[in-house]
Chain A
């Protein structure tokens, strides 16, 4: 066993490890989008935020030598993009779905533009905690090398669940999402609530991006994100705007995304690209199963334009 020759067990192990590794960006983006959508605004631009976050984290980590400053920079970049989104969406007659698409293109373009000099150099990467010390099998150890960001995300999910349910801020966000008129009647500015919710969502999505460039895959290039951002947005719909369900769904998606590389590592190379598309196919299938033309989804914020 100790020589690492564990045969086909590699696949489930790699899927487990992948579920933990690959799910982190899904988790952060979906939790961020969850906050934003609960406030009644949809941000389809988180794909762009993710890529911008990845680029700025890598750049700052390279310049300062501190990956954690990189994570912070990614979050702030995301919050800025979120503020831009909320600001434009608050203008009259502006369609938030379309603005999201435009920010997706803008964020990706800007990240490629600014990130051009960052493809060559190597930045300091985020550390991982070795939870697999008890095992002699290298694959187990690899699967259990867990990044701190993942743990933060896992903690964040129940915290958000609790915050939506019991805190004043959670209630305000939900009010703005269910009925803007009610929030306004209570004397709150819907614009400010949505601005803050979208900025918080962008912050988290940016952090999700920093994970991509600073831990796994752990470098900056233009093919870094291929739709994780948009998959995560769809995942929020599947998770019924519930942070805890976002956590489980992210893990499932991470596992699906790890299937292709895992099979490749045991020599199943045909259909590699098809297995890589597994998260998208899974998202689509889940949406087909859970959506219905006859009713709006349970748990959907009533102000959300995309579910109407």
Chain B
């Protein structure tokens, strides 16, 4: 237990906040729960003041947020269904972060994953559902994986900044999706909302028995735990963390940094691609522009709030999923625009990043950021 408790410290040391590589102080694990927690509370307070400026009662806001996210079994199920893609897209940012890379293109990998999964499902119509579903998982993960691999490869072989390339690839993925959905892959019956044909009810992955929560949540949990094991309990993960801490040291000890970067980027993209597959096979049943609702971008926030730790991503994704889920209630009961959720997410993100300054209160990186 003690070794595991120390692990989040390593995760933080490798998080992008530490781009200059500093000595981590051990013995303050509690900081890693306390500080993000305090940042979250501060963000909620700021958001309360913000809505108060628009004449809404902040206490009502907090109550509806709680009620819409975790108040009833119905809202819990809604929250968990939304948390599933967030876990997967957060992994898309958290895995490369172990190598010191900032990948923010999870949305693009999600869209490509959804397209690949849909294409395979449409090609395999008539096959047994299990075969189709497995093929969809493989196609979604491969599609998303290759998409982020592109960013990793460009970084490795051409020195192209992976943050910018992955974000540009989001817009390119969206254009490809729109092109295919309105052109070659369009279902002629979809008039108002251009979509592909449906993958068929039999091929949907359905819900966990006794709930309305789809199986995507289980996929997310499995991949988050697998990522945790991979990073903290395998040689591969150790090598990745060494390379993330000090790339020169990693090269000196003979690590193949290029191979690490490419593998991690593929795995990261595969996670987001699976999120796309899940959204198709559990929610939408087809591919259309509805998929681009920002799960990829919220996933970045989840990863940073969880300090890039795959296990911490699970509760944080549920929390953010809850905030997303309560958006509808805020709209109906308080008359707040649907963008309130975006504002709150932005405030949380800023507050969490600013709270990085509080760790250990040692300011020798001052001016270097």
Contacts and interface: CB of A to CB of B under 8 A. Distances in A.
Interface of A: 44, 84, 88-99, 101-103, 105-110, 112-113, 116, 180, 184, 190-191, 226-227, 230-231, 233-234, 237, 270-274, 276-277, 280-281, 283-284, 287-288, 291-294, 303, 305-307
A108 B298 CA distance: 13
A113 B56 CA distance: 14
Contacts of A102: 301, 304, 346, 349-350, 353
With most chain B CB atoms within 10 A of its CB, the pick from A103, A271, A273, A294 is A273
Contact of A93 (B17, B301, B340, B347): B17
Interface in B336-369: 337-347, 349-350, 353-354, 356-357, 359, 362-369
24 contacts: A89-B369, A90-B369, A91-B354, A91-B369, A93-B22, A93-B359, A93-B365, A94-B369, A103-B346, A109-B345, A116-B337, A180-B367, A180-B368, A226-B171, A270-B183, A276-B175, A280-B172, A283-B168, A284-B165, A291-B159, A293-B158, A303-B368, A306-B163, A307-B161
B105 to A, nearest CB: 11
Given A105-B345, A306-B163, A93 B18 contact: yes
A271 B180 CA distance: 9
Contacts of B349: 101-102, 105-106
Contact of B369 (A93, A184, A272, A281): A93
B167 interface: yes
Given A95-B356, A102-B304, A291-B158, 10 more contacts: A44-B163, A89-B369, A94-B353, A101-B102, A102-B301, A109-B345, A226-B171, A273-B176, A288-B160, A307-B161
Contact of B102 (A97, A103, A283): A97
Contact of B366 (A92, A97, A233): A92
Contacts of A96: 369
A112 B337 contact: yes
A81 B335 CA distance: 27
A277 B182 CA distance: 15
B164 to A, nearest CB: 5
Contacts of A92: 357, 362-366, 369
A116 B171 CA distance: 24
Contacts of A107: 346
Interface of B: 16-19, 22, 102, 104, 154, 156-161, 163-165, 167-172, 174-176, 178-179, 182-183, 297, 300-301, 304, 337-347, 349-350, 353-354, 356-357, 359, 362-369
Contacts of A284: 154, 160, 165, 168-169, 172
A227 B369 CA distance: 25
B347 to A, nearest CB: 7
Contacts of A277: 171-172, 174-176
Contact of A109 (B22, B169, B339): B339
Report whether over half of chain A's contact residues are helix, strand or loop; otherwise say mixed. helix
B158 A191 contact: no
A185 B104 CA distance: 37
Given A91-B356, A98-B102, A102-B349, A112 B369 contact: no
A101 to B, nearest CB: 6
Given A105-B342, A116-B337, A99 B353 contact: yes
A44 B366 CA distance: 20
Contacts, number: 181
* 7 residue pairs, one from A and one from B, having the closest CB atoms: A106-B346, A109-B342, A277-B175, A112-B339, A102-B349, A91-B357, A293-B159
Contact of B175 (A116, A270, A273): A273
A237 B160 CA distance: 10
Contacts of A105: 297, 301, 342, 345-346, 349
A109 B343 contact: yes
B365 A99 contact: no
Contact of B342 (A93, A113, A291, A303): A113
A107 B369 CA distance: 21
Given A116-B339, A288-B158, A293-B156, A94 B356 contact: yes
Contacts of A95: 16-17, 19, 102, 353, 356, 369
A274 B176 contact: yes
Nearest to A105: B346
A97 B16 contact: yes
B353 A287 contact: no
A109 B159 contact: no
A260 B356 CA distance: 43
A252 to B, nearest CB: 16
B367 A191 contact: yes
A294 B363 CA distance: 32
A112 B179 contact: no
Nearest to A295: B159
B354 to A, nearest CB: 5
A101 B104 contact: yes
Contact of B357 (A94, A101, A180, A294): A94
Given A95-B369, A273-B179, A106 B159 contact: no
A288 B16 CA distance: 24
A281 B164 CA distance: 12
